[in-house]
Amino acid sequence: MSNALQLNNYKKLISGIMPAKDVPSAGNYIRNYRKKNIVRYTDLQRREAYVATLETFLRQYYPGCTLEMHGSCINGFGNKNSDIDLCLKTAPFRVEVNHQHNTIVHIARILVTDHCQGVEDATAITETRIPIVDITFKDMKIDLCVNQFVSIESSKLLRQYTYCNDRLAGLGLFIKDFVKEMGIDKEHGGFSSFPCILLLIHYLQHTNPVSLPVLNQYVTSNNESYGDLILGFFKYFASFNFKDHVVTINQHPILTRNAAGFRSPIAIQAPFDVTANVTDGIKDGVAHRIKEIFAKSAKVLSQPQDRRYGNFMEMLVNKVKLSSFMQLGHQLLALFTLAYYFLIRIPICLWN
Protein backbone atom coordinates (compact mmCIF):
# COMPACT_ATOMS: atom_id res chain seq x y z
CA MET A 1 0.00 0.00 0.00
CA SER A 2 1.41 3.43 -0.95
CA ASN A 3 2.19 6.04 1.70
CA ALA A 4 -0.38 8.42 0.22
CA LEU A 5 -3.10 5.75 0.39
CA GLN A 6 -2.15 4.87 3.97
CA LEU A 7 -2.34 8.54 4.97
CA ASN A 8 -5.77 8.87 3.37
CA ASN A 9 -6.95 5.77 5.26
CA TYR A 10 -5.76 7.23 8.58
CA LYS A 11 -7.46 10.55 7.83
CA LYS A 12 -10.66 8.71 6.93
CA LEU A 13 -10.51 6.76 10.18
CA ILE A 14 -10.31 9.91 12.31
CA SER A 15 -12.67 12.09 10.25
CA GLY A 16 -15.63 13.49 12.10
CA ILE A 17 -14.08 13.09 15.54
CA MET A 18 -15.36 15.62 18.07
CA PRO A 19 -13.43 17.10 21.02
CA ALA A 20 -12.93 14.73 23.93
CA LYS A 21 -15.89 15.90 26.04
CA ASP A 22 -16.80 12.28 26.80
CA VAL A 23 -13.51 11.43 28.50
CA PRO A 24 -13.62 13.51 31.71
CA SER A 25 -11.67 10.86 33.61
CA ALA A 26 -8.48 11.50 31.62
CA GLY A 27 -7.46 14.35 33.88
CA ASN A 28 -8.30 12.40 37.04
CA TYR A 29 -6.27 9.41 35.83
CA ILE A 30 -3.20 11.52 35.04
CA ARG A 31 -3.35 13.53 38.27
CA ASN A 32 -3.78 10.37 40.39
CA TYR A 33 -0.96 8.62 38.52
CA ARG A 34 1.43 11.50 39.14
CA LYS A 35 0.44 11.67 42.81
CA LYS A 36 1.12 7.95 43.33
CA ASN A 37 4.40 7.93 41.39
CA ILE A 38 5.91 11.29 42.30
CA VAL A 39 9.64 11.26 43.07
CA ARG A 40 9.95 12.06 46.78
CA TYR A 41 12.92 13.34 48.75
CA THR A 42 13.74 9.85 50.03
CA ASP A 43 13.83 8.56 46.44
CA LEU A 44 16.30 11.31 45.51
CA GLN A 45 18.48 10.51 48.51
CA ARG A 46 18.60 6.83 47.52
CA ARG A 47 19.60 7.68 43.95
CA GLU A 48 22.23 10.17 45.03
CA ALA A 49 23.75 7.54 47.33
CA TYR A 50 24.21 5.15 44.39
CA VAL A 51 25.74 7.94 42.29
CA ALA A 52 28.16 8.86 45.08
CA THR A 53 29.22 5.21 45.47
CA LEU A 54 29.97 4.86 41.75
CA GLU A 55 31.71 8.23 41.52
CA THR A 56 34.04 7.43 44.43
CA PHE A 57 34.90 4.06 42.90
CA LEU A 58 35.51 5.34 39.35
CA ARG A 59 37.77 8.18 40.49
CA GLN A 60 40.34 5.55 41.39
CA TYR A 61 40.67 4.83 37.64
CA TYR A 62 39.61 8.19 36.13
CA PRO A 63 40.96 10.90 38.48
CA GLY A 64 38.88 14.06 38.50
CA CYS A 65 35.88 12.43 36.78
CA THR A 66 32.33 13.31 37.78
CA LEU A 67 28.96 11.63 37.31
CA GLU A 68 25.88 13.58 36.25
CA MET A 69 22.32 12.31 36.01
CA HIS A 70 20.30 12.79 32.85
CA GLY A 71 17.21 11.25 31.26
CA SER A 72 13.91 10.61 33.01
CA CYS A 73 15.34 10.87 36.54
CA ILE A 74 15.89 14.63 36.06
CA ASN A 75 13.95 15.75 32.95
CA GLY A 76 10.55 15.87 34.67
CA PHE A 77 9.13 12.77 32.97
CA GLY A 78 10.27 10.14 35.46
CA ASN A 79 8.60 8.48 38.42
CA LYS A 80 9.73 6.91 41.68
CA ASN A 81 10.52 3.63 39.88
CA SER A 82 12.59 5.16 37.07
CA ASP A 83 16.08 3.81 36.46
CA ILE A 84 19.06 6.14 36.71
CA ASP A 85 20.77 7.42 33.57
CA LEU A 86 24.32 8.59 34.31
CA CYS A 87 26.97 10.30 32.25
CA LEU A 88 30.63 9.88 33.21
CA LYS A 89 32.45 13.13 32.50
CA THR A 90 36.13 12.25 32.30
CA ALA A 91 37.59 15.79 32.39
CA PRO A 92 40.39 16.69 32.65
CA PHE A 93 41.12 13.45 30.75
CA ARG A 94 39.27 13.44 27.45
CA VAL A 95 37.99 10.19 25.98
CA GLU A 96 37.68 10.46 22.21
CA VAL A 97 34.47 9.22 20.64
CA ASN A 98 36.21 6.33 18.92
CA HIS A 99 37.66 5.21 22.29
CA GLN A 100 34.35 5.26 24.20
CA HIS A 101 33.73 1.61 23.29
CA ASN A 102 36.92 0.56 25.08
CA THR A 103 36.13 2.80 28.06
CA ILE A 104 32.66 1.25 28.44
CA VAL A 105 34.11 -2.28 28.32
CA HIS A 106 36.78 -1.33 30.88
CA ILE A 107 34.25 0.19 33.31
CA ALA A 108 31.96 -2.85 33.09
CA ARG A 109 34.91 -5.11 33.87
CA ILE A 110 36.32 -3.22 36.85
CA LEU A 111 32.91 -2.74 38.48
CA VAL A 112 32.68 -6.53 38.79
CA THR A 113 36.28 -7.69 39.14
CA ASP A 114 37.25 -4.96 41.62
CA HIS A 115 34.01 -5.36 43.58
CA CYS A 116 32.39 -1.94 43.56
CA GLN A 117 30.22 -1.73 46.68
CA GLY A 118 26.66 -2.91 46.06
CA VAL A 119 27.12 -3.75 42.36
CA GLU A 120 25.60 -7.14 41.53
CA ASP A 121 26.31 -7.09 37.80
CA ALA A 122 27.66 -4.81 35.08
CA THR A 123 27.38 -5.43 31.33
CA ALA A 124 28.90 -3.45 28.48
CA ILE A 125 26.35 -2.76 25.73
CA THR A 126 28.31 -1.49 22.75
CA GLU A 127 26.11 -2.30 19.74
CA THR A 128 23.86 0.72 20.28
CA ARG A 129 24.38 4.24 18.89
CA ILE A 130 25.47 5.34 22.37
CA PRO A 131 27.43 2.59 24.17
CA ILE A 132 26.49 2.13 27.84
CA VAL A 133 27.26 0.06 30.92
CA ASP A 134 24.15 -1.64 32.28
CA ILE A 135 24.72 -1.68 36.06
CA THR A 136 22.57 -3.64 38.51
CA PHE A 137 22.29 -2.89 42.20
CA LYS A 138 19.96 -4.82 44.50
CA ASP A 139 17.03 -2.44 43.96
CA MET A 140 18.22 -0.10 41.21
CA LYS A 141 19.23 -0.24 37.53
CA ILE A 142 21.71 2.29 36.16
CA ASP A 143 22.73 3.01 32.57
CA LEU A 144 26.09 4.75 32.37
CA CYS A 145 27.49 6.45 29.26
CA VAL A 146 30.70 8.43 28.71
CA ASN A 147 30.93 12.13 27.79
CA GLN A 148 27.48 12.32 26.20
CA PHE A 149 27.06 16.01 26.94
CA VAL A 150 24.22 16.41 24.44
CA SER A 151 22.14 13.93 26.48
CA ILE A 152 22.64 16.08 29.57
CA GLU A 153 21.64 19.28 27.79
CA SER A 154 18.62 17.58 26.18
CA SER A 155 17.42 16.49 29.62
CA LYS A 156 17.74 20.04 30.93
CA LEU A 157 15.81 21.35 27.92
CA LEU A 158 12.91 18.94 28.54
CA ARG A 159 12.90 19.96 32.19
CA GLN A 160 12.58 23.61 31.18
CA TYR A 161 9.61 22.75 28.98
CA THR A 162 7.81 21.20 31.98
CA TYR A 163 8.10 24.60 33.68
CA CYS A 164 6.35 26.23 30.71
CA ASN A 165 3.19 24.11 31.01
CA ASP A 166 2.31 22.19 34.17
CA ARG A 167 0.29 19.63 32.17
CA LEU A 168 3.26 18.54 30.06
CA ALA A 169 4.83 16.12 32.57
CA GLY A 170 1.53 14.31 33.19
CA LEU A 171 0.78 14.04 29.47
CA GLY A 172 4.31 12.78 28.84
CA LEU A 173 4.01 10.04 31.45
CA PHE A 174 0.67 9.00 29.93
CA ILE A 175 2.05 8.82 26.37
CA LYS A 176 5.12 6.84 27.52
CA ASP A 177 2.95 4.32 29.37
CA PHE A 178 0.48 4.06 26.49
CA VAL A 179 3.27 3.33 23.99
CA LYS A 180 4.55 0.58 26.30
CA GLU A 181 1.08 -0.91 26.86
CA MET A 182 0.43 -1.04 23.11
CA GLY A 183 3.74 -2.75 22.34
CA ILE A 184 5.14 0.05 20.19
CA ASP A 185 7.99 0.90 22.58
CA LYS A 186 11.73 0.49 22.08
CA GLU A 187 11.71 -3.20 23.04
CA HIS A 188 9.34 -3.86 20.12
CA GLY A 189 11.21 -1.72 17.58
CA GLY A 190 9.26 1.47 18.32
CA PHE A 191 9.67 4.58 20.46
CA SER A 192 12.00 5.03 23.41
CA SER A 193 11.04 7.63 26.03
CA PHE A 194 12.88 10.55 24.40
CA PRO A 195 11.10 10.42 21.01
CA CYS A 196 7.75 10.09 22.83
CA ILE A 197 8.35 13.38 24.64
CA LEU A 198 9.58 15.11 21.46
CA LEU A 199 6.38 14.02 19.68
CA LEU A 200 4.32 15.48 22.51
CA ILE A 201 6.22 18.78 22.63
CA HIS A 202 5.95 19.15 18.84
CA TYR A 203 2.17 18.62 19.01
CA LEU A 204 1.76 21.13 21.87
CA GLN A 205 3.72 23.69 19.80
CA HIS A 206 1.07 23.30 17.09
CA THR A 207 -2.17 23.47 19.09
CA ASN A 208 -4.48 26.44 18.69
CA PRO A 209 -3.84 28.39 20.88
CA VAL A 210 -0.24 27.23 21.18
CA SER A 211 0.49 25.28 24.41
CA LEU A 212 4.31 25.31 24.30
CA PRO A 213 6.77 27.68 22.66
CA VAL A 214 9.42 27.03 20.10
CA LEU A 215 12.65 28.30 21.68
CA ASN A 216 12.74 32.09 22.17
CA GLN A 217 9.12 32.55 21.07
CA TYR A 218 6.20 33.88 23.07
CA VAL A 219 3.31 31.50 23.73
CA THR A 220 -0.33 32.33 24.51
CA SER A 221 -2.40 30.48 27.09
CA ASN A 222 -4.08 27.19 26.14
CA ASN A 223 -6.66 25.91 28.63
CA GLU A 224 -7.70 22.68 26.91
CA SER A 225 -8.35 19.74 29.21
CA TYR A 226 -6.13 16.67 29.48
CA GLY A 227 -8.74 14.74 27.50
CA ASP A 228 -8.82 17.29 24.68
CA LEU A 229 -5.02 17.37 24.48
CA ILE A 230 -4.68 13.57 24.46
CA LEU A 231 -7.28 13.28 21.69
CA GLY A 232 -5.60 16.12 19.79
CA PHE A 233 -2.23 14.38 20.07
CA PHE A 234 -3.55 11.17 18.51
CA LYS A 235 -5.46 13.01 15.78
CA TYR A 236 -2.45 15.18 14.91
CA PHE A 237 -0.02 12.31 14.41
CA ALA A 238 -2.54 9.96 12.81
CA SER A 239 -2.77 12.46 9.93
CA PHE A 240 0.82 13.74 10.08
CA ASN A 241 2.60 13.42 6.73
CA PHE A 242 5.60 11.37 7.88
CA LYS A 243 6.44 10.58 4.25
CA ASP A 244 7.51 14.15 3.48
CA HIS A 245 7.88 15.86 6.86
CA VAL A 246 10.03 15.56 9.99
CA VAL A 247 8.91 16.07 13.60
CA THR A 248 10.99 18.83 15.20
CA ILE A 249 10.73 21.07 18.26
CA ASN A 250 13.33 23.53 16.93
CA GLN A 251 11.04 25.47 14.61
CA HIS A 252 7.35 26.01 14.03
CA PRO A 253 7.32 25.80 10.20
CA ILE A 254 7.20 22.30 8.74
CA LEU A 255 10.61 20.67 8.29
CA THR A 256 10.86 18.59 5.12
CA ARG A 257 12.74 15.33 4.76
CA ASN A 258 14.76 16.77 1.91
CA ALA A 259 16.01 19.54 4.18
CA ALA A 260 16.81 17.18 7.07
CA GLY A 261 18.14 14.26 5.04
CA PHE A 262 16.40 11.57 7.12
CA ARG A 263 15.22 8.27 5.65
CA SER A 264 13.41 6.24 8.35
CA PRO A 265 9.59 6.00 7.99
CA ILE A 266 9.13 8.11 11.14
CA ALA A 267 11.73 10.85 11.54
CA ILE A 268 12.19 12.98 14.68
CA GLN A 269 14.99 15.54 14.75
CA ALA A 270 17.16 15.75 17.87
CA PRO A 271 16.95 19.16 19.61
CA PHE A 272 20.69 19.96 19.63
CA ASP A 273 22.34 17.70 17.06
CA VAL A 274 20.02 18.61 14.21
CA THR A 275 21.71 16.08 11.92
CA ALA A 276 20.53 13.23 14.19
CA ASN A 277 17.26 11.35 13.76
CA VAL A 278 16.28 9.87 17.14
CA THR A 279 13.97 7.31 15.49
CA ASP A 280 16.30 6.08 12.77
CA GLY A 281 15.85 2.47 13.92
CA ILE A 282 12.09 2.29 13.32
CA LYS A 283 11.13 0.03 10.39
CA ASP A 284 8.18 0.31 7.98
CA GLY A 285 6.03 -2.34 9.64
CA VAL A 286 6.34 -0.78 13.11
CA ALA A 287 5.73 2.72 11.71
CA HIS A 288 2.52 1.52 10.05
CA ARG A 289 1.34 -0.02 13.34
CA ILE A 290 2.15 3.16 15.30
CA LYS A 291 0.10 5.34 12.96
CA GLU A 292 -2.76 2.85 12.95
CA ILE A 293 -2.82 2.72 16.77
CA PHE A 294 -2.82 6.53 16.99
CA ALA A 295 -5.75 6.73 14.57
CA LYS A 296 -7.73 4.06 16.43
CA SER A 297 -7.01 5.79 19.74
CA ALA A 298 -8.49 9.02 18.39
CA LYS A 299 -11.55 7.09 17.22
CA VAL A 300 -12.01 5.44 20.64
CA LEU A 301 -11.73 8.78 22.44
CA SER A 302 -14.48 10.26 20.26
CA GLN A 303 -16.97 7.76 21.68
CA PRO A 304 -18.75 7.90 25.08
CA GLN A 305 -16.69 6.76 28.05
CA ASP A 306 -17.12 3.04 28.83
CA ARG A 307 -17.53 2.83 32.62
CA ARG A 308 -16.87 -0.91 32.75
CA TYR A 309 -13.14 -0.27 32.88
CA GLY A 310 -11.21 0.61 36.02
CA ASN A 311 -9.46 3.72 34.69
CA PHE A 312 -8.82 5.82 31.62
CA MET A 313 -5.67 4.00 30.50
CA GLU A 314 -7.27 0.57 30.87
CA MET A 315 -10.28 1.72 28.86
CA LEU A 316 -8.21 3.19 26.03
CA VAL A 317 -5.73 0.32 25.72
CA ASN A 318 -8.39 -2.40 25.79
CA LYS A 319 -10.72 -0.69 23.32
CA VAL A 320 -7.88 -0.01 20.85
CA LYS A 321 -6.78 -3.65 21.10
CA LEU A 322 -10.40 -4.78 20.64
CA SER A 323 -10.67 -2.57 17.56
CA SER A 324 -7.53 -4.19 16.11
CA PHE A 325 -8.90 -7.66 16.89
CA MET A 326 -12.20 -6.86 15.17
CA GLN A 327 -10.36 -5.51 12.13
CA LEU A 328 -8.35 -8.73 11.94
CA GLY A 329 -11.59 -10.71 12.20
CA HIS A 330 -13.09 -8.81 9.27
CA GLN A 331 -9.96 -9.41 7.20
CA LEU A 332 -10.03 -13.15 7.97
CA LEU A 333 -13.73 -13.31 7.13
CA ALA A 334 -13.03 -11.66 3.77
CA LEU A 335 -10.24 -14.17 3.07
CA PHE A 336 -12.45 -17.14 3.98
CA THR A 337 -15.21 -15.76 1.76
CA LEU A 338 -12.82 -15.43 -1.18
CA ALA A 339 -11.43 -18.90 -0.54
CA TYR A 340 -14.96 -20.33 -0.38
CA TYR A 341 -15.89 -18.87 -3.76
CA PHE A 342 -12.64 -19.72 -5.52
CA LEU A 343 -12.22 -23.22 -4.07
CA ILE A 344 -15.85 -24.38 -3.77
CA ARG A 345 -18.52 -22.25 -5.46
CA ILE A 346 -16.72 -21.50 -8.71
CA PRO A 347 -15.52 -25.12 -9.29
CA ILE A 348 -19.09 -26.37 -8.62
CA CYS A 349 -20.52 -23.91 -11.15
CA LEU A 350 -17.89 -24.92 -13.73
CA TRP A 351 -18.55 -28.60 -13.06
CA ASN A 352 -22.26 -28.15 -13.62
Of 138, 136, 172, 167, give the one whose Cα is nearest residue 155.
172
The pLDDT tens digits for 78-120 are 988 889 999 999 875 555 555 788 999 999 999 999 999 999 9
Give residue 9's pLDDT. Answer: 57
pLDDT greater than 50 at residue 263: yes
Of 121, 145, 137, 122, give the one whose Cα is nearest residue 47.
137
246 band by pLDDT with thresholds 50, 70 and 90: very high
170 band by pLDDT with thresholds 50, 70 and 90: very high
- Of the listed ranges 16-20, 230-234, 332-336, the least confidently predicted one is 16-20
Q: What is the mean pLDDT of residues 337-345?
A: 59
Alpha carbons within 13 A on the beta-carbon side of 299: 21
Q: Which residue has the higher pLDDT, 339 or 60?
A: 60
Give residue 330's pLDDT. Answer: 46
Give residue 61's pLDDT. Answer: 94
pTM metric for this prediction: 0.83
Give residue 185's pLDDT. Answer: 94
128 band by pLDDT with thresholds 50, 70 and 90: confident
Give residue 129's pLDDT. Answer: 80
Give residue 8's pLDDT. Answer: 60
Give residue 80's pLDDT. Answer: 85
Give residue 352's pLDDT. Answer: 58
- Of the listed ranges 52-66, 104-118, 235-249, 295-309, the least confidently predicted one is 295-309
311 band by pLDDT with thresholds 50, 70 and 90: confident
Q: Which residue has the higher pLDDT, 5 or 224?
A: 224
pLDDT greater than 90 at residue 59: yes
- Of the listed ranges 10-19, 49-58, 305-314, the least confidently predicted one is 10-19
Of 124, 147, 120, give the one whose Cα is nearest residue 53.
120
Q: What is the mean pLDDT of the chain?
A: 85
Give residue 329's pLDDT. Answer: 47
Give residue 245's pLDDT. Answer: 96
Give residue 310's pLDDT. Answer: 75
Give residue 18's pLDDT. Answer: 46
What share of the chain in percent tops pLDDT 90? Answer: 57
2 band by pLDDT with thresholds 50, 70 and 90: low
Instruction: Give how far the C-alpha of residue 258 lies from the chain's centroid of Cα atoms, to the nearest Å.
Output: 24
